[in-house]
Amino acid sequence: MVTEFFVDALKHAGYNVVIQYASAAATPPSMKIDAVLDGDIREFWMDLYMATWHKVNVHISLLDKAGEKVTWERDIQGGESNVLWLGISSEFEKVIRQALDQALNRAAKEFASDEFYQKVKTSN
């Protein structure tokens, strides 16, 4: 699910994206790969009592097209809190969604930056 959110952020910034899962077959030879973006969820934390807090931190690394050398990296974070009125799942889902939206907005801003674009171009 988080992967697809980052794919959308990359597409919004104008990049063509191919999701490559570890179990997937190799990329077809006809497909040109400029760079590889790798990510690790470092934190996906929620706490609640009278309010609920959610934090998300995803470390993303841009690698050269061989997937060996890191050319750019960032920690993309988001966080949100809200008072619990009823303690129902929709309240928790809202806070998680808002924290993810913050992180993805930050990611989209990074992906649209000239610095990121230049690193993609020099990664191949």
**Structural domains in the chain (count):** 1
Contacts of 36 (CB under 8 A, 6+ apart): 20, 62, 63, 64, 65, 67
Choice between 21 and 77, residue whose per-residue pLDDT is larger: 77
Instruction: Domain of residue 12: give its range.
Output: 2-122
Q: Give the pLDDT mean for 94-114.
A: 93
Q: What distance in Å separates the CA atoms of residue 121 and residue 124, rounded to the nearest whole number?
A: 7
The CATH number of the domain holding residue 88 is 3.30.160.150
Mean pLDDT of the chain: 85
Which pTM was predicted?
0.78
